[in-house]
Structure 1
Amino acid sequence: MLRNVFRSQTLRATRPAVISPRALAVSPLAQRSIRFYSEEAKKEAPKAEEAKEEAAKEENSEPKDELTLCKEQLEAAQKERAQFKDHYLRAIADFRNLQESTKREIKKSKELALKSFAKDLLETADTFEIALKTLTKEETSDTTKKLKELDDLVEGVQITQNMFLNALKRHGLEPIEAIGEKFDPNVHEATFEVPQPDKEPGTVFFVQQQGYYLNGRVLRPAKVGVVKGED
Structure 2
Amino acid sequence: MEITPLTPKRGEKPPIEEKKERISRKRVTKKELMKRVKELEEALRTERERAETYLRQLKYAKADLENLRKMVKRQVEEAVRSGNERLIRELLVVLDDLELALEAGGKAGDREALMEGVEMVLRKFRKILESEGLKPIEALGRPFNPDLHEAVMRVEDPDRPEGVVVEEVRRGYMLRGKVIRPSMVKVSVNPRREEKEGARDG
Alignment partner of 2:147: what SS? Answer: coil
Residue 97 (structure 1) aligned to one of 60, 67, 70:
67
1:124 aligned to 2:94? yes
Partner of 1:8: none
Residue 168 (structure 2) aligned to one of 191, 196, 207:
207
Q: Label 1:73 to 1:200 Cα distance change in 2 as closer, same or farther (>3 A).
A: closer
Alignment partner of 2:68: what SS? Answer: helix
Q: Per-residue displacement from partner, 1:132-151 (whole Å, max 9, x unpaired)?
A: 212448xxxxxxx64x2x22
CA distance in 1 between partners of 2:47 and 2:142 (Å): 74
Q: Per-residue displacement from partner, 1:115-143 (whole Å, max 9, x unpaired)?
A: 33222211211111111212448xxxxxx
Alignment partner of 2:65: what SS? Answer: helix
Alignment partner of 1:134: what SS? Answer: helix
Partner of 1:65: 34
Q: Per-residue displacement from partner, 1:57-102 (whole Å, max 9, x unpaired)?
A: xxxxx87836655543443233223212221222112211221222
Partner of 1:56: none
Residue 120 (structure 2) aligned to one of 159, 184, 187:
159
Partner of 2:18: none
Alignment partner of 2:57: what SS? Answer: helix
Is the 2:158–2:190 contact (alpha carbons within 8 Å) kept by the matching residues of 1? no
Q: Per-residue displacement from partner, 1:153-173 (whole Å, max 9, x unpaired)?
A: 211221111111111100010
CA distance in 1 between partners of 2:33 and 2:97 (Å): 94
Rg: which structure is higher? 1
Contiguous gaps of at least 5 residues in structure 1: 1-61, 138-144
CA distance in 1 between partners of 2:121 and 2:169 (Å): 21
Deviation larger for 108-117 or 181-190: 108-117
Q: Label 1:172 to 1:63 Cα distance change in 2 as closer, same or farther (>3 A).
A: same
Partner of 2:153: 192
Alignment partner of 2:99: what SS? Answer: helix
Give the AA of the match of 1:123.
V
CA distance in 2 between partners of 1:210 and 1:193 (Å): 17
Q: Per-residue displacement from partner, 1:165-192 (whole Å, max 9, x unpaired)?
A: 1111000101112112121111111100
Partner of 1:79: 49
Residue 115 (structure 1) aligned to one of 85, 90, 94:
85
1:168 aligned to 2:129? yes
Q: CA RMSD in A?
A: 2.4
Is the 2:160–2:190 contact (alpha carbons within 8 Å) kept by the matching residues of 1? no
Contiguous gaps of at least 5 residues in structure 2: 1-30, 195-202
CA distance in 1 between partners of 2:139 and 2:39 (Å): 84
CA distance in 2 between partners of 1:228 and 1:213 (Å): 27
Partner of 1:177: 138
CA distance in 2 between partners of 1:175 and 1:63 (Å): 86
Number of equivalences: 161
Give the AA of the match of 2:79.
S
Identity of aligned residues (%): 30
CA distance in 1 between partners of 2:144 and 2:50 (Å): 68
CA distance in 1 between partners of 2:39 and 2:54 (Å): 23
